[in-house]
Amino acid sequence: MRKTLLAAVTGAFALGGSAALAEDIEIVFVGKNTGNPYFDSLTQGFVDACEAIACNFEFVAPATAEATSQIPFIEAQIQRGVDVIAISPNSPDALNQVFDAARDKGIIVLTVNGDITGNEEHRDATILPTDFTKVGADQIEMVGSLIGYEGEIAILSATTEAPDQNFWIEGMNETLENDSKYSNMTLVATVYGDDQPQKSTTEMEALLANFPDLQGVIAPTTVGIAASAQVVQSRGIADQVKVTGLGLPSEMRDFIKDGTVEAFQLWSPYNEGWLAAHFSVGLKDGSMTNEVGATFEVPNLGTITINEGNSINTQSELTTFDASNIDDFDF
């Protein structure tokens, strides 16, 4: 049986007595953009949780992942008077004013799967899949292990404004600069595919053209890693250029099986939606408190702790996927 990194949901759960009131709680999740399969699994976590505890849920998203593209969607939810706006932000600062407007109306604002780094006071809490301070170093270690810790590498990211990817890239650069283990590795370029398959493909092809000695590519975005792998597969150069990053098992399975990609990492997007819905209901019905150090129970996830900065993680570290376990996961 394939895993979703969450045990199967059986029956309807009540959290701190929340189910009796949850049917009146409106939760809206604003994704980065439409057509991004990463958010299918995350959204399903919201859907299943709201079925279990009887809250109301809706997913909306702009067509593109530009810095300000989510603003009209947030404004629409303020007009509706929803209870909770959960959002994967496309910018670390462009949404501050509209977040403040939502909170002034009593709406809880949760960032999910990415935060507004440096502007955390404009949201109530953030739900992240893992400790994002470790992702950059983990990704450098992953690509280093694939290329023998020597040679040229590049990064193919999402948009230039993407707060989560930019935070990880900062961690990658710091790791390369400060850890002697990677002193023989050189970062030659960081490019952006805007989380669009075609642009990501074009950027990957440009990397190969501009850096003929390139040995590794980190794509910390599910769209980017799939596009990069496709280019390497079509050219038959998997033995020359190692692609890794953050990807969905469902999209990367064939690349793993044919040897195009040896290993990549991620977490469970589903668990983020599952946790966010339970936390939203708990905050609205008063069964949970949004205080650093507070703990609460979530079905199938166990005890969750609110960390510094009102940050909540669904798992302690990244999950690595390779040929030994890729068939165990279906998200």
Q: pLDDT at position 144, please? A: 98
Q: How far, in whole angstroms, is CA 54 from its chain's centroid?
A: 25
Q: What is the DSSP letter of 300?
A: T
The predicted-structure confidence for 11-35, as pLDDT tens digits, reads as follows 223 333 333 356 789 999 999 999 8
**256, 321 contact by CB (below 8 A):** yes
Query: What is the residue-wise DSSP string for 235-257?
Result: HT-TTT-EEEEB--HHHHHHHHH
C-alpha span between 184 and 180 (Å, rounded): 8
Residue 320: exposure state from Cβ atoms within 10 A (0-12, 13-18, ≥19): middle
In total, the chain counts a number of residues equal to: 331
Considering Cα of 224, then 226, then 229, then 230, what sign does the dihedral take? negative
Phi, psi of 109 (to 5 degrees): -115, 120
Q: Kindly report the pTM of this predicted structure.
A: 0.83
Domains of the chain in start order, with CATH, are 19-129+268-315 (3.40.50.2300), 132-266 (3.40.50.2300)
Q: How far apart are the first and last CA of the chain?
A: 13
The predicted-structure confidence for 266-317, as pLDDT tens digits, reads as follows 999 999 999 999 999 999 999 999 999 999 999 999 999 999 999 999 998 8
